[in-house]
Amino acid sequence: MLDGIALGFQHLMNPMVLLALLGGVMLGLVVGSLPGLNDSITIAVLIPVTFGMDAYVALALLCGIYVSSACGGSYPAILMNIPGTASAMVTTLDGYPMKQQGKGGLALGIANTSSFFGGLFSALCLLLFAPILAQVAVKFGPPEYFMLGVLGLATVIGMSTKNVTKALLSMAIGLWLSTIGMSPQTGIARYTFGQVSLLDGIPLIPRMIGLFGITSVLKMVDEKRKVAATVSKSEATVPGEVLQEKVSETETKLQQEDVVKLPDKEMALRLLPTWISSSFIGTILGIIPGAGMTMAIYVAYDQVQKVKKKLKFGTGVPEGVAAPEAANNAVVAGSMVPLLSLGIPGNGTSALFLGALTIQGMRTGPTLFTENGGMAYMMILAFVIGNLIMFPLGYQYCKHVMMKVLKIRSEILAAGIIVLCLTGSFAYKNNPFHVLAAVFFGLVGYLFWKYKIPQAPLILSTIVGSMMESNWLSSMVYADGSVSVFFTRPISLGLVIVSVLFLIWPIIQKIRQRKQET
């Protein structure tokens, strides 16, 4: 492990790699602070661009973006009550009231410090636990990998306590999509509809570009239409003008105060328990496939409310900013633990890293640490160093750049995203069909959003579906068709038990709710 860390550090200290990490952190802050953009969109668009790059430079750039984008999303959430990313939704509840009380500078400082604490906490957990988990994963056979996929899907269902039916529908669609292509058992084409490009299945990169990039543009168009329908004709403005008006108003109010005020010693000691608990929550939920940042921020915010019962959350409480910001940044490195050690992405963004590593000719899972140890440890250290870079860079970004970046009109932003998405999809393998695939999944993602169907089960099931099928077939060959193989092997049995617990969790929650109502 120490040799691997030394080798990874040596690669990371390459001037070009370090410069790429720095550029990624800066880019992550920018895209995070632009409403409508996030890390997933940016990474999806940039993956095709990394084709010709050195593998270490490319992965360092993507790591930097992932590290800082969640932090960047808190800036417009605090200053204008407009979350830059979905992970900053909860930050608005107390961040914007603090701004209205003239404490916007302090709120930005708390958000920056909390993001740094949570990100560094999870990065150190990644450094400590990913290699250990990889050593355990070497003992995995086809039954264990099949049950690992089942566990990933079970966690998604278990976390969807309010939307189990829709989560099951999303997962079923994803599993069906994963069967498209040639059967690994018979070689017969399935659901290809005569399209040769589908014989190898639907490629991951165009799929992710569509679900994240094109879907985001359709969301922006839908929101623009809603705004235009709710205002009078004499006062009608496009969202870009609304955003500019809010920026101007915010700039005027901020003239009399410092943009960023880092928490002093007394405030830091007050927030320390919140940082620790929220970072722990974010890291754990990041490791669990399918949980993600949205779940983490709500759980962390709910937890701090239960601990600090005397505080009136939603009125400008510092803990209300610290909890979600520490949690969402802790998810970042946490989601890379199952990807690097087991080959299972923790969320949609880490799934994009799966595509990036595949493009560079590498396979995630325990073999990554043995066959490409330098790359594995370089990525882990990139998350540690990236957070150290993000803290001072975020401070300066708030102080000198933030207000100017937010003036970009939403129309220009949407047009740029579409161009990059379509270009990136085509550049993946110079195949026009992949452009159509990206557009198709963009429409699918929009419909899912429109009808409030969760995307996490779809994304995870399309990725693990093919893996589960191949490992099921291998398990049946190994056990002569007996399903007892999943219950006689210790690791597989343990995964079965945990999967069952996640599946029955929604039922337990409903029973509790009925008891409370009666």
How confident is the model over 54-74, as pLDDT tens digits?
A: 889 989 999 999 999 888 888
Name beta bridge partners: 181: 190
Burial label for 196, CB within 10 Å (0-12, 13-18, 19+), is exposed
Residue 25 in tokens: 């952190």
19-68 per-position pLDDT tens digit: 999 999 999 998 888 765 677 778 877 877 777 788 899 899 999 999 99
**Residue range of the domain that includes 277:** 2-517
For 145, list phi and psi in degrees, rounded to 5. -70, -35
Q: Are 471 and 184 in contact (CB under 8 A)?
A: no
How high is the pLDDT of residue 246? 54
145-177 per-position pLDDT tens digit: 888 888 878 877 776 656 778 888 998 999 999
How high is the pLDDT of residue 249? 54
**From CA 433, how far away is CA 17, in angstroms rounded?**
34
- How would you classify the pairing of strands 181-182 and 189-190? antiparallel
Burial label for 162, CB within 10 Å (0-12, 13-18, 19+), is exposed
281-329 per-position pLDDT tens digit: 888 878 776 556 777 887 788 788 888 888 888 888 999 999 999 999 9
Short-list 103, 104, 31, 41, CA closest to 70 = 31
> For the chain, how many structural domains are there in total?
1
Q: Are 305 and 313 in contact (CB under 8 A)?
A: yes
How high is the pLDDT of residue 255? 44
CB atoms within 10 A of CB 63: 31
**From CA 95, how far away is CA 115, in angstroms rounded?**
14
Q: Is the pLDDT of residue 378 over 80?
A: yes
What spatial distance separates the first Cα and last Cα of the chain, rounded to whole Å? Answer: 55
As a three-state string, the secondary structure of 299-332 is HHHHHHHHHCCCCCCCCCCHHHHHHHHHHHHHHH
